[in-house]
């Protein structure tokens, strides 16, 4: 190999090495900062949701084991005002997209302690609705989107299994009234779908579904 040829090969190798490094750099920069997420969870989120995502109050949802993408999307919706809650909007105001992504991943990795169903009669009625829906009103089976075991489908359809019955019931009521989900601008498509579904449910059915889902594992 001539000197000129050798120099050309070395130069080409150096070029591709730099190009490869340039491609890898964004990936490294985009890596979620889970340590920071843990600090945020402990210092900010813990008051309502518990440092590990297991809330001590039924009014506040458990976040442990929830889908990472779903948590991140909800945080973004709070920040953008698509979901309206003064406390959550204040909490998300200073979070970056990277912060919200990392928080989603952090909470998704925590172990859910779960809840238990409280009323056998409600559980039976809830199970029927969960698995088969209500043919008379056209309410679909919850299992179709949230899965038979309540684990959900990450990002669009949240995990409901092991969630506080009181919280799930409150959200169904909010969907039904339009306080949550009926977004005319189409920014919360799945929320709008839930509004339509909740309109087909009676108050007793919502309580039954919430109680049944709490005991799912």
Structure confidence by residue, pLDDT tens digits, 97-118: 999 999 999 999 999 998 999 8
Residue 21: is its pLDDT beyond 80? no
Weakest-pLDDT range from 50-54, 118-122, 133-137: 118-122
Mean pLDDT over the full length of the chain: 88
CB 162 within 8 Å of CB 114: yes
- In angstroms, the CA 130 to CA 141 distance is 5
Higher pLDDT, 12 or 51: 51
Residue 214: is its pLDDT beyond 80? yes
Higher pLDDT, 98 or 17: 98
pLDDT of residue 109: 98
For residue 178, give Cα distances in angstroms to 152, 183, 186, 197.
Answer: 22, 8, 13, 11
Residue 175: is its pLDDT beyond 80? yes
How many CA atoms are closer than 13 Å to the CA of 88, on its beta-carbon side?
19
pLDDT of residue 14: 43
pLDDT of residue 187: 81
Q: Which pair of tokens denotes residue 84?
A: 């309206």
pLDDT of residue 19: 46
Q: pLDDT grade, residue 8 (50/70/90)?
A: very low
Give the three-state DSSP class for 139.
strand
Residues 120-214: name the CATH superfamily: Cytochrome c-like domain (1.10.760.10)
CB 212 within 8 Å of CB 117: yes
Weakest-pLDDT range from 15-29, 100-114, 131-145: 15-29
Residue 6: is its pLDDT beyond 90? no
**173-195 burial, b for 16+ CB within 10 Å, e for fewer?**
bbbbeeebbbbeeeebebbbbbb
The CATH number of 34-108, from 1.10.10.10, 1.10.260.40, 1.10.287.180, 1.10.760.10, is 1.10.760.10
How many CA atoms are closer than 13 Å to the CA of 78, on its beta-carbon side?
19
Weakest-pLDDT range from 2-6, 28-32, 149-153, 195-199: 2-6
What is the rounded average pLDDT of the residues 68-85? 95
Weakest-pLDDT range from 25-29, 55-59, 67-71, 193-197: 25-29
């Amino acid at each position: 190999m001539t000197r000129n040829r050798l120099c050309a090969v070395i130069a080409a190798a150096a070029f591709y090495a730099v190009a490869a490094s340039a491609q890898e750099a964004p990936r490294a920069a985009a890596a979620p900062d889970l340590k920071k997420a843990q600090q945020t969870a402990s210092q900010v989120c813990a008051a309502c949701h518990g440092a590990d995502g297991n809330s001590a109050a039924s009014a506040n949802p458990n976040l442990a084991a929830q889908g990472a993408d779903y948590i991140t999307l909800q945080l973004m919706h709070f920040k953008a005002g698509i979901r309206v809650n003064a406390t959550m909007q204040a909490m998300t105001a200073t979070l970056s997209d990277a912060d919200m992504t990392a928080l989603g991943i952090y909470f998704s990795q925590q172990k859910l302690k779960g809840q238990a169903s409280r009323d056998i009669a409600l559980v039976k009625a809830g199970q029927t609705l969960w698995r088969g829906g209500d043919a008379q009103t056209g309410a679909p089976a919850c299992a179709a989107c949230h899965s038979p075991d309540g684990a959900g489908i990450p990002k669009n359809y949240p995990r409901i299994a092991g969630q506080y019955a009181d919280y799930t019931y409150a959200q169904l009521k909010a969907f039904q009234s339009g306080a949550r989900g009926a977004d005319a601008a189409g920014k919360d498509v799945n929320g709008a779908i839930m509004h339509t579904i909740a309109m087909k449910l009676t108050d007793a059915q919502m309580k039954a579904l919430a109680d049944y889902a709490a005991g799912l594992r």
